[in-house]
């Protein structure tokens, strides 16, 4: 007897079962810290649900009424109020401790996640900083020649600038030293003053003193 071919319904059921299995295998496992935090929150909620807040005055009114009706003695009433107040205080302290623990665990989880993010981002940030440094150096080196020629033309034309060397703060020590040879002594003294107020690079100051002699 020939085997029966599976019906379309059976095929559909098989595909759904396979899809459910695939979905369950792809599902990311929940971290232990998240599970622990969820349990702590739920435990705190349960504790709040079980707690009942009644003012001491209200408790006193109830037991005073019971004493008046002769349902208990004054001594029993006072003892009951004291016990209820003590239990309420203990329950409040326990709830506060649970809340403190919950907040501490939350802070730890946030700190751990921030450290994880920082660890992942740090390599990218370093690459960006290195790339930015290379771009900045390339731009500075590319502008060095044109700026030096502009300074020379400005001095020949007798046009005074704010500083003897244009773009001074962005130049390296070797770039500054190459330009010092074309300066007058008055300009050299200005450069010396500017350097002492800024980066105080010894090689530049020594070169200035040498040229001033």
pLDDT digits (tens, 9 = 90+) for 61-96: 888 888 888 888 888 888 888 887 787 778 778 778
Question: Mean pLDDT across the stretch 50-69?
Answer: 75
> Is the pLDDT assigned to residue 32 strictly greater than 60?
no
pTM over 0.75: no
**Do residues 43 and 50 touch, judged by C-beta distance below 8 A?**
no
Could you give the CA distance from residue 61 to residue 186 in angstroms, rounded to a whole number? 96
- Residues 37 and 109 sit within 8 Å (Cβ to Cβ): yes
Please state, for a pLDDT cut of 90, what percent of the chain lies above it.
Answer: 11
> What's the chain's length in residues?
213
The answer for 6, left when phi > 0, alpha when psi is -120 to 50, beta otherwise, is beta
Q: What is the average pLDDT across 175-188?
A: 88
Cα–Cα dist 132/3, whole Å: 71
Is residue 8 over pLDDT 80? no
pLDDT for position 204: 93
| DSSP secondary structure code for residue 17 in this structure | H
Closest by Cα among 83, 14, 76, 179 to 195: 179
Maximum pairwise Cα distance, the chain = 117
Task: Please give the pLDDT value at position 130.
Answer: 82
CA distance 57 to 96: 23
Instruction: Work out the pLDDT band at 45, boundaries 50, 70, 90.
Output: low
């Amino acid at each position: 007897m020939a085997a029966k071919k599976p019906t379309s319904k059976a095929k559909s059921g098989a595909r759904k079962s396979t899809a459910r299995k695939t979905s369950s295998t792809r599902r990311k496992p929940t971290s232990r810290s998240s599970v622990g935090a969820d349990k702590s929150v739920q435990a705190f909620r349960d504790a709040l649900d079980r707690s009942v807040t009644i003012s001491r005055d209200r408790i006193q009114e109830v037991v005073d009424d019971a004493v008046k009706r002769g349902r208990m003695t004054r001594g029993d009433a006072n003892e009951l109020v004291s016990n209820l107040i003590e239990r309420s205080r203990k329950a409040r302290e326990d709830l506060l401790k649970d809340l403190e623990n919950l907040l501490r665990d939350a802070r730890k989880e946030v700190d751990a996640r921030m450290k994880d993010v920082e660890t992942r981002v740090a390599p990218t940030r370093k690459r960006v900083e290195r790339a930015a440094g290379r771009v900045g150096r390339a731009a500075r080196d590319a502008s060095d020649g044109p700026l030096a020629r502009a300074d020379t033309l400005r001095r020949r034309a007798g046009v005074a600038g704010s500083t003897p060397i244009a773009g001074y703060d962005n130049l390296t020590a070797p770039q500054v030293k190459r330009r010092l040879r074309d300066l007058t002594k008055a300009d050299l003294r200005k450069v010396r003053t500017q350097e002492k107020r800024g980066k105080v690079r010894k090689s530049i100051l020594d070169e200035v003193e040498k040229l001033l002699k």
